Every structure is written in structure tokens, then in C-alpha cells.
Amino acid sequence: MTAYFGFEPSEGLKNDIETILANLAKKVPEPQYHLSSEISKVFTDEVIDNLLLNLVGVMQNHGDGEGSGMLKFLGGFLKTVMHGALKVMLGKCDNAEVNKRADFLRKRLLQLPNDKTRLGFELPQDVYDHFQHCFREVDAGNGKNFTEELTKTMLMFSDLSLVYFFDDFISGLNLGMINRKMASVTRSGIHKESHSTIKKLIPSLTDEQLKDFSAYFKAMLVER
């Protein structure tokens, strides 16, 4: 069995990814960079929504608290930073270059047996096991006693997400020295803010909010 993290993309994003991959496979002559750039923007937003902003509504089921504000701030920060970076890094290119960029989509598109289409990545077994242990304890009502383990696990997960959703994407772009430097600075900012938020967020959650958090993330973890 292999563990994965993955969220279900919107129908529009899923269709656009399937369309561009099919077009590239057929080597259509029409330029694909417009569609490629649009996919990159929507993909970025849906990653941020599924990892952060959708959690706001989930956790408000049991009180607002500090958590919602932290998530809104981090989500807003990431979208602002990434929208600015994408605007600079994505431009007109030929279909051969688009095909190189599309390797990121091919790797992130998970079509697992007996499962819905997901966007995500393979999860190290130890991280998956730590998640499941924390979630079992949370479900049993012991969540506040396991916030340290859950925090450490979320920090590991955050670093993995940065590698698979940011580094892998950047590696497919033909960037000059200045844009490479900008990408490095952007990555450092994302890493710093993400770690800071996780360390504050998890301990601030009530038992009921931890259960909501657990249920939400558990649905994005799968073994096949």
C-alpha cells in the first residue's frame, strides 16, 4: 500500500488539465500557453483553498477563535505572493515549453484505483502514520494532549507541500537569474509564514475544532 495526499479539483480545473494534456499528446499546432497559464493560476488558488481557506468555514462550526483569522491571513498572503510571482514568471512560450511545464500536472494528477480524481502527491508512510495516530487520538477526545505531535506532523506536511506544489512547478519553468532569485525569495516567505501559522494554530484549537480539523484532513489522505 502507498499513501497519498490529494484533494478533489473543481470540475473546471480538472477539465482544463485533461484538455491541455490531450492537446499536447496530440501535438496540436494551436498555442497552448494561454490555457497553461490559466491552469497555473487556478491550480494555485485551489491548493491554497483546500489546504487553508476551506478550513475556516469547517472550524467555525464550533466557534470562531484565533484559528480562522490565522488561516485567512496566511491564505491571503499566499495568494497575493503567488499571484504576483505567476504574473512575472508565466509568459508567452511555444508548445514545447508548455509540454515541459505540463510535466508538473502529469505528476500531480492522481488517478488512483477505485478513487476520485485528485491533485496531490505520494506521502511518506511515516508522515501518513503520524497523521492517522493523531487523528485517532483526536477522535477519542484526546486531541489537546496530542497537539505537539500534530503540529510536528503538519510542519513536515507543509514542507512536503512546498516541494511538490512549489518546487516541482518552478523546476518546469525556463526562468532567468532574476526570476530564479524571486522564486527563491517567494519560497522562503511561504515557508516562514506557513511554519509560524502552524505553530500558533494547532495549539489554539479546541477539542471540537481539532475534530473538525482532523475530519477535514483525513478525507484528503488515502492509501492504495
pLDDT band at 84 (very low <50, low <70, confident <90, very high): very high
| 2 lies in some domain | no
Place of cell 494532549: 145
**46 part of a folded domain:** yes
The percent of residues above 70 in pLDDT, for the chain, comes to 98
pLDDT over 90 (residue 68): no
d(CA 204, CA 171): 36
Instruction: Examine residue 224 and state whether it is found in any structural domain, yes or no.
Output: no
Tell me if 177 is assigned to some domain.
Answer: yes
As for how many domains the chain has, the answer is 1
pLDDT (tens digit per residue) in 8-65: 999 999 999 999 999 999 999 999 999 999 999 999 999 999 999 998 888 777 666 6
* pLDDT of 56: 86
Q: How are strands ordered across the β-sheet holding 221-223?
A: 109-110, 118-123, 3-7, 221-223
pLDDT in tens, 195-206: 999 999 999 999
Q: What is the pLDDT of residue 64?
A: 63
DSSP 1-69: --EEEEEPPPHHHHHHHHHHHHHHHHT-SS--HHHHHHHHHHHHHHHHIIIIIHHHHHHTBTB-HHHHH
Structural domain includes residue 1? no
pLDDT of residue 57: 83
Average pLDDT over residues 65-81: 89
pLDDT of 116 strictly over 90:
yes
Per-residue pLDDT averaged across 117-145, rounded?
95
Structural domain for 183, as ranges = 7-219
